[in-house]
Amino acid sequence: MNVQATTQALPPSMMKTALYALTLMVLVMASTGDADAEDHVVTQSNMSFSATDLTVKVGDTVSFSNRDSMAHNVYSLSDAKTFDLGSSAPNTSKKVTLDQPGVVDVECALHPSMRMKIKVTQ
């Protein structure tokens, strides 16, 4: 068996195409999400949040799990993250992804005494 190896350079047009494809592949792989992102669960029970203060990282998700006998409506008007999860019936969950650093003041629109702070860090 006679095997010969050849070392020929790619023509410039093929080299550009190969570099473009490689660059595109790297960009797609880099944008597929943060592998270090975590999910945090905050329970709503007895008209209160299970945590009054929570620290998470940018890209983390917080699930609000309603274990109360009544509906809740979790929202925030904070600069770091504005959201309104809408009415959440008992035994349901809704989640929000926190995508920039800062302090997020969270409240229940139906029960103003329900409040918590989420500190989002890099």
- The CATH number of the domain holding residue 92 is 2.60.40.420
Does any domain span residue 73?
A: yes
What are the tens digits of pLDDT across the range 28-78? 454 445 568 999 999 999 999 999 999 999 999 999 999 999 999 999 999
* pTM for this model (two decimals): 0.71
- Tell me: pLDDT of 90 over 60: yes
The reported pLDDT for the residue numbered 76 is: 99
- pLDDT tens across 95-115, in order? 999 999 999 999 999 999 999
Separation CA 35–CA 59 (nearest Å) = 10
Which residues are annotated as part of the binding site for Cu cation?
72, 108, 111, 116
Euclidean distance between CA atoms 40 and 60, whole angstroms: 8
CB-count burial class (<10 Å; 0-12, 13-18, 19+) for 60 = buried
Please give the angle made by the CA atoms of 89, 55 and 33, to the nearest 5 degrees.
80
Whether 15 maps to a domain, the answer reads no
Residues of the binding site? 72, 108, 111, 116
61 belongs to a structural domain: yes
Residues of the domain holding 69: 39-121
Q: Does residue 22 carry a pLDDT above 70?
A: no
